[in-house]
Structure 1
Amino acid sequence: MSEVLKAINFADREPTLSHRFGVFFLKGGLIPNPIDLRFQRVSGISTEVQLETINEGGENLHAHRLPSRMSYNNLVLERGYIASAIPSPLNIEFNAAFSFYKFNPSDVLITLFNESSVPIGGWLFKKAYPVKWSVSDLDAQSNSVAVDTMELAYTRFQILRM
């Protein structure tokens, strides 16, 4: 294929669909948790540069806006309530945090897949730890799935493109 056709194919790619993803909790930074992989929704993947405003003496037309630090939203994971004979390591981790105030930060890798299940990108969240855990409302008049919502704070994240 000519270089021109390769460039056109690269530029005209279809937008990536957001429903093919996996969440991998990496113990020790390497070994993925084999049970807690599937989630129905992930949100909070965002970062922002905080700005500091400095006013210059005698300059009234503008102020200097300088980057000061990064801020991150909490990573929010949603999944169906797990009631299994095999204990969920993630549920154990959240329970330890909220029952005993014991935190064991780990890295979290969220991977986006193409239609052939090949990773095409992702985000690596460093030193993530639990900060909020909630369960959807229990309603006797509803026939909906009970959903666990888990929030994690983290020190920073890296964008991965493959």
Structure 2
Amino acid sequence: MNINLLEPDLLLTHRFGVFFFQAGVLPNMLDIRFQKVSGLQADINMDSINEGGQNLYTHRIPTGASYSNLVLERGLLSRSLLNRSFQDAFSEFRFSPSNVLVTVFNDENKPASGWLFLKAYPVKWSFSNLDASANEVVIETMELAYTSFQTISV
């Protein structure tokens, strides 16, 4: 597959932002910067139905959609509203679902495309290993489940 890197419609993967919208509150500017985003995946679930007397094939019908968890990685921040909501979920089992917008920017740093994740809430929170012999940033990994997502074209 030949890809013309000079094509203006192709978006680069290193220009993106993650925006959390919770209870009408504007996103915290510290909580929009992430090193990596993964889990941008949706699947259609299928069931197979056998037809009586037909042994050559089965009918496959869609039964619903399923979504991968949204996984966000960044350097650990000591003061973060997002960390507070994760702390509430894992320490007090209190959840405040929010909508999350992942936006890809073009070469002029203007929004070009994105995904809106609806009713996202924390399901996993992990940190990189601490190593006294290494001089590395502590990486925080945040995983969110959500009800569905929509693609957005700008």
The reply to whether TM is greater than 0.5 is yes
Unaligned runs of 5+ in 2: 1-6
The alignment's TM-score, normalised by the length of structure 2, stands at: 0.92
- Gaps (5+ residues) in structure 1? 1-11
Q: Which amino acid aligns with 2:95?
A: F
1:69 aligns with 2:64: yes
Matched, 1:24 2:19: yes
Aligned pair partner of 1:51 in 46, 51, 55: 46
What's the offset of the Cα at 1:29?
5.5
CA distance in 2: counterparts of 1:102 and 1:89, whole angstroms? 15
Note the alpha carbon deviations across 1:114-156, whole angstroms, 9 max, x for none. 1111100000000000000000011112222110000000000
Match among 69, 80, 91 for residue 83 of structure 2: 91
- Rg comparison, structure with higher value: 1
Q: 4+ runs of 1 displaced by more than 2 Å?
A: 12-15, 28-35
Q: Equivalent of 1:112, from 104, 126, 129?
A: 104
Find the aligned partners of 2:106 and 2:8 in 1 and give their Cα distance. 12
Match of 1:142 in 2: 134
The alignment covers a number of residue pairs equal to 148
SS in 1 for 2:31: coil
The RMSD of aligned alpha carbons is 1.3
**Alpha-carbon deviation of 1:30?**
6.5
| Distance in 2, Cα, partners of 1:51 & 1:30 | 39
The answer to whether the 8 A contact 1:29-1:107 is kept is: no
CA distance in 1, matches of 2:50, 2:56: 10
Distance 1:59 1:33 in 2: 59
**What is the deviation of 1:42?**
0.4
